[in-house]
């Protein structure tokens, strides 16, 4: 086992995970808002924000899908050591990590059921940059409108039409994170 995978988790788990959880819940509650998170140093190609999200929201009963760009031995070992989450296929994943292109087609992820809409996947999308420009976001948690640099708009429009079913999205770039939950309406700018 590579000794580097033993590093990179939260140094002070109760405090850092509580801060990270608050930050992640805040971006989910305020779609388009960008926050900085800290505490994790996962192996490349995972970003700090993706690592923080996995450490905070996943556990040994949370199936994680690693898209081709993130599916490395170091990432698998890091997840096994720090989280214990099983690596799964798209259909069974509760969380998925990758770039927008490598996560496609997103229709293969679970969107929940009428009885259990919460049994859907959350996609952690790795981005080169994350900016408050581009697509227009409206809906719960947004006073009027906000903007976020999304890879496209059509997929998010189709996802919102599935409500209460659908996917939730967390976008990460370095130590920055933003969210687009299924309740958010996305339009081109």
The tens digit of pLDDT for each residue in 129-146 reads 999 999 999 999 999 999
Tens-place pLDDT, residues 164-189: 999 999 999 999 999 999 999 999 98
Mean pLDDT, range 119-131, rounded to an integer: 98
The CATH class given to the 3-182 domain equals alpha beta
- Does the pLDDT at position 121 exceed 70? yes
**Residue ranges per domain, the chain?**
3-182
Distance, in Å, from the CA atom of 61 to the CA atom of 93, rounded to the nearest integer, reads 11
- Give the pLDDT confidence score for residue 4 in this predicted structure: 65
Confidence class of residue 29 from pLDDT cuts 50, 70 and 90? very high
Q: Which residues pair with 146 in a beta bridge?
A: 137
Residue 148 makes CB contacts below 8 A (sequence gap 6+) with: 31, 32, 34, 130, 131, 132, 133, 134, 135, 137, 171, 178, 180
Assess contact for 137 and 31: CB atoms under 8 A.
yes
- Give the pLDDT confidence score for residue 44 in this predicted structure: 95
Distance, in Å, from the CA atom of 63 to the CA atom of 94, rounded to the nearest integer, reads 5
DSSP single-letter state for residue 86: P
pTM: predicted TM-score of the whole model, two decimal places: 0.96
Helix axes of 48-57 and 73-82: crossing angle, nearest 10 degrees: 40
């Amino acid at each position: 086992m590579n000794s580097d995978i033993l590093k990179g988790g939260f140094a002070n788990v109760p405090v850092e995970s509580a801060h990270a959880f608050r930050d992640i819940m805040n971006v989910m509650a305020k779609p388009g808002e960008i926050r900085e998170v800290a505490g994790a140093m996962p192996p490349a190609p995972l970003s700090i924000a993706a690592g923080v999200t996995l450490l905070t929201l996943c556990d040994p009963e949370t199936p994680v899908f690693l898209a081709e760009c993130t599916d490395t031995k170091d990432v698998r070992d890091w997840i096994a050591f720090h989280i214990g989450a099983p690596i799964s296929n798209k259909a069974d994943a509760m969380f998925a990590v990758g770039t927008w292109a490598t996560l496609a087609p997103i229709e293969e992820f679970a969107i929940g059921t009428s009885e259990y809409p919460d049994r859907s996947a959350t996609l952690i999308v790795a981005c080169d940059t994350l900016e408050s420009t581009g697509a227009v976001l409206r809906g719960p948690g947004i006073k009027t409108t906000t903007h976020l640099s999304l890879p496209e708009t059509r997929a998010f429009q189709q996802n919102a039409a599935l409500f209460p079913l659908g996917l939730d999205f967390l976008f990460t770039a370095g130590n920055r994170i933003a969210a687009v939950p299924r309740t958010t309406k996305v339009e081109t700018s």
